Structure 1
Amino acid sequence: MKRLDLKLVLALALTSLSAGAFAQAYLEDPRYGATPEERKQNVLILNFFNDTYNNKNYDGAVQYLQQLMEKAPKATQNIYIKGADIYRNKILRATSLEQKNVLIDSLMLIYDKRIENFGDHATRGKGYIMELKAREYITYKPADREGIIKMCQDAIAENGNNSDPDFLNIYFKELTEDYKNDNIEADVLMDEYEKLVKIFDVDPTPEKAEAKKTFEALFVSSGAASCENLEKLFRPRIAVAPTDTALLDKTLGLLMAGNCISDFQLEVGEKFYALKPSSSTALALAAGFEEKKQFDKALKYLNEAIANESDPATKANLCVRIAGSQLGSNNAQEAAKFAKEAIAIDPENGFAYMILAQAYTVGSNSCSGFDRQSVYWLAYDLLAKACTMLDDEHKKGTDEQLASYRANFPSKEECFFRGLNNGAAYTVKCGWISGSTTVREGR
Structure 2
Amino acid sequence: MKTKIIIAFSGLLFATGALHAQADCATKAALAYDDAKAQRYEQAYPALMEVKEQCPTYSLATFQYLERAVNHKMATAQGAQKNALIEEMIQLMNDRLKHFPNKTNPAEIKGDVAWLKYENGIGTKETQFNAFDEAFKESPESFTSPKRIYAYFSLLVDLQDEGKRSLQDVFELYEEIIDKIGAEENRLAEMLAPLLEKQEAGTDLTTKEKQLVDNAEINLSAYSTVKGSVNGKLGQRADCDNLIPLYNNDFEEKKTDVKWLKIASERLSQKDCTEDPIFFKLSEALHRAEPSAKSALYLGQLAEAEGKSSQAMKYYNESASLETNASDKSRVYMKIAENYKKQGNFSQARTYYRNALAAQPSAGRAYLQIASMYAQSANNCGETTFDKRAVYWLAADYAARAGRVDPSLSRIANESVAAYKGRAPQKADVFQEGKQGQTIRIACWIGESVKVPAL
TM-score of the two chains, using structure 2 as the length reference: 0.47
